[in-house]
Amino acid sequence: MANHYCEKCNRTMDEKEFYRSNNLEKYPEYGLMNQCKKCLTMHVDCWNPDTFLWILEEADVPWVPDEWNKLLAKWAQDPTKVTGTTIVGRYLSKMRLKQHKDYRWKDTEFLQ
- pTM of the predicted protein model: 0.86
The Cα 12–Cα 49 span in angstroms is 29
pLDDT tens profile 29-87:
889 999 999 999 999 988 899 999 999 999 999 999 999 999 988 887 776 666 667 88
For the chain, domain boundaries: 3-111
3-state DSSP assignment of residue 6: strand
In the prediction, which pLDDT does 86 show? 80
